DNA sequence: AACAATTGCAACCGCGTTTAA
DNA sequence: CTTAAACGCGGTTGCAATTGT
């Protein structure tokens, strides 16, 4: 037995809205509000429309400050980065773009951005719907309970300091060191675009000419080095703000899952051996400034949990 | 010019979640 | 606590406009 229909389909108008219908709906809501009941709204106004249809029309077209078309490059970047991070959570993505609706962004993605990105897939659909709640649960992130917006995440609990001692540091080159992480399943910030092209083994590689340190654009830097043979890549430590930590953790997680790269029990980190750990950090989508800190923070997540469950 | 294919987007559908009785 | 109604979201569809042959 299915759910009861929200309205009498035989007695409601469907299809495109007329200017008169728009005017009625807009005028009524501006003067009286929705009354918290969309289903009852059409009757009050005298519209032969389904309540859900009224809601959609208002949210997507009639409410104030709605923007249509003309997506900026910055908006492209935000959409792409969030899509790679959290998948098709259009309402969350729309919440980051004032004036944009989830429907608009969804259409824009499906018709424009997806093609430009060459068909890159979002995170594992099995896992990603719970990514935010999982991160909150397992890393004690505190969120504003009234908001699902990523920007409200409290990042303070998302960082930890790695105990680096002389015993687990290995010197490889004059300018490079590596060391082992002490705990299993801690994955790191892995920015594929940090990888020198010579160390990133690529398959079906058709475009590796662009320097990874160029100012990244979504179409130039993103996934440029993918797919990577995971036996042959080196993790570069990023030193970054806590805000960046979360953004990158989410993006890197998405990429790990997309690529099937699951963190093993130990990780090698390579960075430059100065008194301050510094590393160039180019996110696939988000350009970020260089940060230098006397000690670095490392956000971690349980890759096994996210990737395998 | 005619037709087919493709594109872009508004609107609908169905289902999971939330709310209120 | 239970359950039905309503909400909100993401996926899909339908169709007009545009482009290609």
Asked if strand B comes closer than 7 Å to A9 Cβ, the answer is: yes
- What is each CA distance from A157 to A2, A185, A288, A293, in whole angstroms? 44, 18, 22, 19
Burial of A284 per CB tally in 10 Å (0-12, 13-18, 19+): buried
**Closest nucleotide to A9 by C1' from CA:** B12
Asked if strand B comes closer than 7 Å to A148 Cβ, the answer is: no
* DSSP code of residue A110: I
Q: Taking a C-beta distance cutoff of 8 angstroms, is the pair A218, A77 a contact?
A: yes
Tell me the two tokens of residue A290.
């260089």
pLDDT at A68 exceeding the cut of 50: yes
Q: What stretch of H or E contains A27?
A: helix A19-32
- CA A175 → C1' C10, Å? 49
pLDDT at A189 exceeding the cut of 70: no
In this prediction, residue A267 carries a pLDDT of 28
Across A63-89, average pLDDT? 84
Q: Sign of dihedral through CA atoms A136, A139, A144, A145?
A: positive
CB atoms within 10 A of CB A259: 15
Asked if strand C comes closer than 7 Å to A51 Cβ, the answer is: yes
Please tell me whether residue A276 adopts helix, strand or coil conformation.
Answer: coil
pLDDT at A42 exceeding the cut of 60: yes
In this prediction, residue A297 carries a pLDDT of 25
Phi, psi of A299 (to 5 degrees): -80, 150
Answering whether pTM is above 0.85, one says no
The domains of chain A, with CATH numbers, are: 10-64 (1.10.10.60), 67-117 (1.10.10.60)
pLDDT at A28 exceeding the cut of 80: yes
Give the N- to C-terminal CA distance of chain A in Å, as an integer: 32
**Of A101, A95, A109, A225, residue with least CA distance to A148:** A95
């Amino acid at each position: 037995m299915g759910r009861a229909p929200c309205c009498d389909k035989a007695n409601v108008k469907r299809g495109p809205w007329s200017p008169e219908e728009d005017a009625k709906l807009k005028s009524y809501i501006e003067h009286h509000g929705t009354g918290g009941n969309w289903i009852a709204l059409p009757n009050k106004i005298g519209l032969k429309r389904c309540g859900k249809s009224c809601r959609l029309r208002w949210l997507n077209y009639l409410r104030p400050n709605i923007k249509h078309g003309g997506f900026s490059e910055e908006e492209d970047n935000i959409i792409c980065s969030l899509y790679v991070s959290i998948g098709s959570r259009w309402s969350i993505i729309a919440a980051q773009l004032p004036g944009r609706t989830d429907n608009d962004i969804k259409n824009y993605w499906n018709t424009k951005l997806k093609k430009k990105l060459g068909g890159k897939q979002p995170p594992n659909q099995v896992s990603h719907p719970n990514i935010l709640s999982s991160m909150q649960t397992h890393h004690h992130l505190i969120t504003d309970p009234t908001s699902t917006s990523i920007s409200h995440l409290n990042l303070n609990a998302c960082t930890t300091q790695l105990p680096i001692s002389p015993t687990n540091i290995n010197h490889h080159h004059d300018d490079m060191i590596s060391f082992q992480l002490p705990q299993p399943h801690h994955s790191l910030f892995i920015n594929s675009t940090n990888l020198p092209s010579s160390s990133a083994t690529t398959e079906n590689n058709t475009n590796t000419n662009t320097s990874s340190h160029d100012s990244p654009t979504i179409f130039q830097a993103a996934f440029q080095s993918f797919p990577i043979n995971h036996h042959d890549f080196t993790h570069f430590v990023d030193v970054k703000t806590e805000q960046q930590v979360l953004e990158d953790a989410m993006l890197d997680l998405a990429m790990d899952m997309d690529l099937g790269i699951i963190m093993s029990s130990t990780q090698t980190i390579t960075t430059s051996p100065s008194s301050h750990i510094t590393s160039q950090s180019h996110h696939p989508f988000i350009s970020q400034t260089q940060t230098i800190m006397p000690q670095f923070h490392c956000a971690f997540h349980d890759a096994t949990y996210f990737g395998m469950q």
